[in-house]
């Protein structure tokens, strides 16, 4: 549990009436009014102690309410619900429920009572089986000004099960990376490059699983926005990383603290040699986050993938000391493909990607419609 942020409190309390109305209009009116009903007790000082935490699973709001709780306001909008709940005259709860998770905030005149109520709510969360799945947090920028994070669980492979899907040099290098725990030297940037279909995304999923005990994966859905908005970067890096069962670990100097792995796929525009010209200050923010002042003491690793060839990447990205790991995902040679493919399968005569080998082996199939031959002239636009 973490101390309730004062950002929302101060934003509303210090706003003019017109600005307050604008804050309310940022969400639907009933949603904002429900939220402000809760914040009013914190802003006026009657309930100065607060706790806020996330429940990383969908949960029925009614199951979380302690005995004797009274719902004062509730608003439902699609898969989103928000409720303002009274425990007594000096303790209140705000529950925000979504299709994938829920956020709970507790405010009270007593710190001990706020913590007690929060503990009651956490104990009411139904146990959920996530065997074979890995937890991560996905991020995107909403309305170009507000970063939104969502906790998710996905099925991820064990590295030992997919290790053969990579050429021997790549497999050996990935194994060294996967076995690492809490890096003590080298850069904070992990760069994977290679042609489409060579298995970069599958390797990311395996890495998330292998590193889960010590590193929390943060998947950036829109890297073009992430590296362009300092507030977006700050929100992702400042959000406390919590253990599955235990207190928040925030002390950067503590060698047992959980790290963050910030994942940005297809980040080509920030890695090309022309990146500084094409993306402006975004490249500078990326480099500063990797090993500059911004990234100091944050226990953060950044994983970038690109389809670009190494000789087309910006030299500032690949300079010595910046990359913790730089791995090229290459195709299988015909000899390597013969070892990978089932016996009796026709072996390609040229280098083939992992995706092509899956198709050759019949593991994946493609539905194609072969068009009839058309001898008529083709126009200018296709």
Contact 282, 223 (CB under 8 A): no
Tell me, yes or no, whether 107 and 140 share the same domain: no
Tell me, yes or no, whether 254 and 224 share the same domain: yes
Tell me, yes or no, whether 111 and 33 share the same domain: yes
The Cα-based distances of 157 to 160, 192, 204, 208, 228 in angstroms read 8, 19, 10, 9, 33
Contact 340, 356 (CB under 8 A): no
Q: Is 72 inside a domain boundary?
A: yes
Tell me, yes or no, whether 93 and 216 share the same domain: no
Q: Is 162 inside a domain boundary?
A: yes
Q: Is 371 inside a domain boundary?
A: no
Tell me, yes or no, whether 257 and 312 share the same domain: yes
Which CATH number covers residue 25? 3.30.310
Q: Is 353 inside a domain boundary?
A: no
DSSP β-ladder status, 102-108 and 146-155: unpaired
pLDDT of residue 242: 54
Q: Is 76 inside a domain boundary?
A: yes
Q: What total number of domains does the chain contain? A: 2
pLDDT of residue 341: 95
Structure tokens at 70: 């009274």
Contact 147, 140 (CB under 8 A): yes
Tell me, yes or no, whether 22 and 170 share the same domain: no
Tell me, yes or no, whether 84 and 143 share the same domain: no
Tell me, yes or no, whether 108 and 146 share the same domain: no
Which CATH number covers residue 261? 3.40.50.300
Last residue of a domain, one of 329, 351, 371: 329
Q: Is 38 inside a domain boundary?
A: yes
Tell me, yes or no, whether 73 and 93 share the same domain: yes
The Cα-based distances of 68 to 64, 71, 91, 338 in angstroms read 12, 10, 12, 68
Q: Is 357 inside a domain boundary?
A: no
Contacts (Cβ under 8 Å, ≥6 apart) of 340: 164, 165, 332, 357
Last residue of a domain, one of 123, 141, 172: 123
Tell me, yes or no, whether 159 and 288 share the same domain: yes
pLDDT by residue, tens only, the chain of 382 residues: 334 444 444 444 444 443 444 444 445 577 888 999 999 999 999 999 998 888 878 888 889 999 999 999 999 988 889 999 999 999 999 999 988 788 999 999 999 999 999 999 999 998 766 677 898 999 999 877 788 888 888 999 999 999 999 999 999 999 999 998 877 666 688 989 899 999 999 999 999 999 999 999 999 999 888 877 878 888 888 776 654 433 333 333 344 578 999 999 987 766 554 545 545 565 666 666 656 555 566 788 989 898 876 556 656 665 666 678 889 999 999 999 999 999 989 999 999 999 999 999 987 766 666 555 554 444 443 4
Dist. CA 150–CA 230, nearest whole Å: 19
pLDDT of residue 285: 64
- DSSP state letter for 292: S
| Domain of residue 46, residue span | 2-123
Tell me, yes or no, whether 242 and 149 share the same domain: yes
| pTM attached to this predicted model | 0.68
């Amino acid at each position: 549990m973490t101390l309730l942020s004062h950002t929302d409190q101060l934003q509303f309390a210090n706003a003019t009436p017109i600005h307050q109305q604008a804050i309310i209009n940022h969400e639907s009116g009933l949603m904002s009014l429900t939220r402000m009903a809760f914040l009013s007790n914190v802003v006026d000082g009657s309930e100065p102690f607060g706790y806020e935490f996330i429940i990383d699973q969908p949960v029925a709001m009614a199951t979380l309410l302690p005995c004797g709780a009274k719902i004062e306001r509730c608003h439902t909008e699609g898969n989103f619900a928000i409720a303002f709940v009274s425990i007594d005259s000096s303790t209140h709860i705000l529950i925000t429920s979504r299709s994938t998770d829920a956020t709970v905030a507790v405010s009270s005149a007593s710190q001990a009572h706020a913590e007690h109520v929060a503990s009651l709510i956490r104990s009411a969360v139904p146990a959920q089986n996530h065997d074979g799945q890995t937890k991560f947090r996905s991020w995107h920028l909403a309305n170009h000004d507000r970063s939104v994070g969502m906790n998710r669980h996905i099925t991820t492979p064990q590295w030992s099960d997919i290790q053969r899907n990579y050429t021997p040099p790549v497999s050996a290098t990935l194994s060294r990376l996967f076995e690492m725990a809490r890096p003590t030297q080298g850069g904070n940037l992990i760069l994977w490059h290679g042609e489409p279909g060579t298995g970069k995304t599958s390797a990311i999923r395996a890495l998330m699983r292998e590193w889960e005990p010590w590193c929390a994966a943060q998947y950036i859905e829109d890297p073009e926005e992430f590296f362009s908005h300092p507030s977006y970067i700050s929100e992702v890096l400042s959000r406390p990383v919590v253990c599955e069962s235990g207190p928040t670990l925030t002390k950067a100097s503590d060698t047992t603290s959980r790290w963050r792995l910030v994942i940005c796929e297809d980040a080509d525009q920030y890695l090309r040699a022309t990146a500084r010209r094409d993306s402006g200050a975004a490249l500078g923010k990326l480099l500063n986050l990797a090993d500059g002042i911004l990234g100091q003491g944050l226990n953060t690793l950044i994983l970038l993938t690109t389809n670009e060839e190494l000789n087309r990447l910006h030299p500032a990205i690949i300079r010595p000391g910046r990359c913790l790991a730089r791995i090229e995902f290459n195709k299988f040679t015909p000899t390597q493909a013969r070892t990978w493919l089932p016996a009796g399968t026709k072996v390609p005569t040229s280098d083939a990607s992992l995706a092509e080998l899956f198709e050759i082996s019949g593991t994946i199939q493609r539905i194609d419609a072969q068009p009839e031959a058309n001898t008529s002239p083709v126009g200018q636009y296709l």
